[in-house]
Structure 1
Amino acid sequence: MTIISYLKRYKVFHLFLLEIILSGFSVNAQEISIRGNDLLYLSDSKFRNFKPVESIEYAHEVMKFAYKNNSSELKAKSYYRIARSLSILEMHKGSLYFFNKALQERYIRTDSILEIKIREKLATTYLSTGWKDQYFVELRKANKILDQINSDQFLNDKILLKLRIALNFGKYYALTKQVDSLQIYLRSADNYISSLKYIQNSTENLDYVLLKSEYYNQINRPDSALVYLDMSLISENFHDNTFIQYSCLGDYYFKIENYYCAVYNYKKCIENVKSKKIEWSLYPGIYKKIEKTYVKLQDAKKANYYNQQYQLVSDSLFKLQNRNVGLIFDKFYDSSDKEEGEPSSDIYYYVIVILLLYTTYSFYTTKQHLKSLIVAKEKERLKFENRLNKTFDEVIALAKSNDSYFLKRFEEVYVEFYNTLMYVHPNLTISEQKFCAMIYLKFETKEIAKYTYIEPRSVQKKKSRLRKKMGLNSEENFYDYLNQLKNDSGDS
């Protein structure tokens, strides 16, 4: 039997056998993809809920699986997720390492969308480390790749990524107070937003709304800024994690000098961070903002308290970062359970050493900076307390001398209380306002009578009439009520 006749006779059989072999490879590849994508989904879920360490754990499982099955796609995707979580943890050196490893994978040449996402996140990490030039290089590369995508299949993804890049540029120009450039990129963002479907409850929409608010703040249109901040809190998708919005609201109220509302929103931010156990660098920064606000409110005691809280939380953050480094080390390198085909431990050792050195250096410089701040703040606190005591003594002296300037000076020193009092009781006469001021300053009935040259009985009658006018019953303490007005204006 010749070879040709043999092949003809058994052609169907050979084709059938070849199909079985190829289908086996196909099933195996499909199983690898399904398992890898399931783990990637879990990693993404943890990341969205601000759990970067847990996100890394799932991404590391994908990476091990990728090495075992030699999947360039899963390697690239796992590197990307590890890198962005390290960036959230402020481990920027390690983040840059894994972003660049992802870009070196051959799979990236076949997935332009993933490459753009990586370059966008890589750009923001460069900016966090102070490499402004590299930030612009990566964003422009991402934009160039995006312009080369012509397929209608990725049209929505393309518009969404265009939006993200525009917002990225916008954030930079907002940070550097370049309003004209910020306006240009916001106009681009406006166009992309109008072209997208199902954008309302997305992270991109939140970034867009907050950036619009910041723009209106910078052009001195606070009412418009507040509208967009309120919109950011309405979004159903972010009702659980609203610390960013409350922080921005605090900044807004601080800028318009409504310090009690600023404190209220900063405290709401801390509540959200604590309740969700969010591992994020904004945490100590909020304490610093509250301290600054209480300085404006001339409350040295609370300003000092929040300065101490800032230092405690900064130390806790450093310990948290060290713990995270340990957890990541455990996940990346376990000599007793190393799978064949995984990358050399030397690479992981090198990365972990970089992370530890960078974290230690950051902590050292932070501690040195904190020491100088503590000394400066103590001097400032003593100076502030001295000035506050002098101001208080001045107001008391004016009250005791029955000076006509007393009420005006009281209004200047206790501006928030006075404004709240007049908002709640706008019909008070000048005499009644002065009477409330003296009670607020803890003058007793006999003292008020002495310094205003009237009988104590007349003071009691005046207090009784004022109670009735203000809607207070006889059981309510007049001073406690006035003090509560101050607390209701935001100081809690």
Structure 2
Amino acid sequence: MKVIKLFAILLLSIIGCTSQKDSSADEVHKVDSLLELSAQSNITIDPNASLQYALEAIEPAKSAGYRYGMARVYYLVSNALYNTGSYNKSMEYTLLSEEYADRDAQLLSDLTRIRGRIYANMGLFENAEKEFLKGLSYIKQIEQEQRRAFLAALAYENLSHLYNMTDRPDSSRLYLQKNIEILNTIDEGLAYSSLINSLTSIGRLHYIVQNYDSALVYFEKSIQLAKKHEYPYLSRTYRYRGDMYSQKNEVDSALSNYLKALDNLEQTGLKAEYPDLLEKASNAYYTLGDSISADEYQKKMLVIQSELNDEKIKSTQKVLFLLTHEERAQVRQKYIIFLVILIPLILIIIAYTWWLIRRNKVKYSVKEAQEIELQKRREEEMTMLRLRLNESLAEIVELAKKNDYTFMVRFQEAYPSFTAALLDINPKMQPSELHLCALIYLQFTTKEIADCLVRSMKTIQNRKNSLRKKLGIDSNIDIAIWLNEIMQ
């Protein structure tokens, strides 16, 4: 009888364990399904739906102890929050995702991409560049070739946008070219959304420098590729094409493209883009003398802006409730873990300290005191040296901005090997060319150089091109980066 009871207990235990495993597997499957829906919503540019699916996946992922699922959940939450402009919350969730990422290279690269975009939007361009470059180092660790290439293309696209924002057109074009080269080697079914954006960006670069025929070619390529894959988001392409016609003072064509962009927004439902496009359309109507239509679009803009504000308040209240609930649970869990670890640690430290005090009364020797004093003096001297260097650099920059004739004298005092290094490469360098190189080395933008030298930006760009020929700098290399390298 006892044998039968023991066998029954063992059988029930096995069934219970199997049931728990099946339940856990079901939870993991549910999480993966919700994350797939969230990712698809992100691809189709629906951040609210993406956020909702990701938040629904939190509890089952926790219940199953699914660490990779938790990392993906927090990443998708962070990405959706970024797309809605909630940068602070987005940053917090990148950190939460990182805790669960377990050194997963793809996840870490995704998180650096979000942080880089946040920094760029906040004007922290150096931090943004560091994040994008860090992301590239993670991407190199990804084994799957197609995925590695696609993520590298996204990183180059982000760097191109960043350098465009910081008035570094050479670097912007270089990384956009790298982006296109990679995308052309990837299966179009994976890369088409990024390729559409890049083709539109190339078109924009062309119309800015008044290469209108080339700009139209790239805008049309972007539109045809979107139609081929039934990609719904074309408002950005139509908007830039409208801006091109506006730049050419072809107001009718500009208005036609703005209206196409608005029609596209009707399909995608991206209300956030409406106000800018409605205002552009309103301005076009005013230029054409149609004040009635202009006023109508202006009113629509105000109405939709009000609706957006109302929807933002409503959705924010709901999202904040869900996020606050999750954050409180996280805080409670961390607090418990913190106490469990901290209390025994404090007791150990107290006991060990008491034992040390009882056994030895530690005294600093004269030599140790002298070393501390010497170290302090060295630190003070280094601090003073840094201050002097900063003051000297600030003085040189100020002289450059004033186009003061003493600028090159002070510059050569601060960087004595600079001119010699350039003359070693080309002894025929003119003083004006050395002056231009010094300004570029000090990270002056094309516009800033034009302002200093009282020249047009086109003239400065032509002088830069001449420098490339004299110094043998390849067109794919940023001149500022090249100058920094020869000084190292």
Three-state SS of the structure 1 residue aligned to 2:257 is helix
Give 1:104 shift.
2.5
**Corresponding position of 2:260:** 268
Give 1:167 shift.
0.8
CA distance in 2, matches of 1:243, 1:66: 37
**Corresponding position of 1:246:** 238
Q: Which runs of 5+ in 1 are unaligned?
A: 1-15, 348-492
Three-state SS of the structure 2 residue aligned to 1:109 is coil
1:258 counterpart (250, 253, 257): 250
Instruction: Say if 2:39 and 2:50, in contact at 8 Å, map to a contact too.
Output: yes
1:319 counterpart (307, 310, 317): 310
Residues 282 and 116 of structure 1, relative CA distance in 2, 3 Å threshold: same
Q: TM-score of the superposition, structure 2-length normalised?
A: 0.59
Give 1:179 shift.
2.2
Residues 185 and 84 of structure 1, relative CA distance in 2, 3 Å threshold: same
CA distance in 2, matches of 1:182, 1:238: 29
Tell me if 1:82 matches 2:74. Answer: no
Can you list the C-alpha shifts for 1:27-67, whole angstroms capped at 9, x where unaligned?
55543332211111111222223322222111011112122
Residues 317 and 129 of structure 1, relative CA distance in 2, 3 Å threshold: farther
Amino acid at match of 2:318: L
Amino acid at match of 1:63: I
Q: How many equivalent residue pairs?
A: 322
Amino acid at match of 1:187: Q
CA distance in 1, matches of 2:183, 2:232: 24
Give 1:305 shift.
3.9
Residues 282 and 177 of structure 1, relative CA distance in 2, 3 Å threshold: farther
Instruction: Say if 1:167 and 1:207, in contact at 8 Å, map to a contact too.
Output: no
Can you list the C-alpha shifts for 1:433-479, whole angstroms capped at 9, x where unaligned?
xxxxxxxxxxxxxxxxxxxxxxxxxxxxxxxxxxxxxxxxxxxxxxx
Residues 303 and 175 of structure 1, relative CA distance in 2, 3 Å threshold: farther
Residues 200 and 103 of structure 1, relative CA distance in 2, 3 Å threshold: closer
Tell me if 1:282 matches 2:273. Answer: yes
Three-state SS of the structure 1 residue aligned to 2:188 is coil
CA distance in 2, matches of 1:18, 1:110: 36
Give 1:304 shift.
4.1
Give 1:17 shift.
13
Tell me if 1:57 matches 2:52. Answer: yes
Instruction: Say if 1:173 and 1:181, in contact at 8 Å, map to a contact too.
Output: yes
Amino acid at match of 2:220: D
**Corresponding position of 1:31:** 26
Can you list the C-alpha shifts for 1:407-445, whole angstroms capped at 9, x where unaligned?
xxxxxxxxxxxxxxxxxxxxxxxxxxxxxxxxxxxxxxx
Tell me if 1:132 matches 2:125. Answer: yes
**Corresponding position of 2:177:** 187
Give 1:165 shift.
0.7
What do you get for the CA RMSD once the two structures are aligned? Answer: 3.2
Q: TM-score of the superposition, structure 1-length normalised?
A: 0.59
Residues 96 and 124 of structure 1, relative CA distance in 2, 3 Å threshold: same
Structure with higher RCO (Cα < 8 A, 6+ apart): 1
CA distance in 2, matches of 1:41, 1:17: 36
**Corresponding position of 1:156:** 146
- Structure whose alpha-carbon radius of gyration is higher: 1
CA distance in 1, matches of 2:292, 2:185: 52
CA distance in 2, matches of 1:214, 1:75: 39
Instruction: Say if 2:28 and 2:60, in contact at 8 Å, map to a contact too.
Output: no
The aligned runs of 1:89-488 (5 Å cut-off) are 89-105=84-100, 108-149=101-142, 151=143, 154-199=144-189, 202-235=192-225, 236-279=228-271, 281-332=272-323, 342-344=329-331
Residues 219 and 17 of structure 1, relative CA distance in 2, 3 Å threshold: farther
Q: Which runs of 5+ in 2 are unaligned?
A: 1-10, 335-488
Give 1:156 shift.
0.9
Instruction: Say if 2:44 and 2:232, in contact at 8 Å, map to a contact too.
Output: no
Instruction: Say if 2:150 and 2:191, in contact at 8 Å, map to a contact too.
Output: no
Give 1:88 shift.
1.6
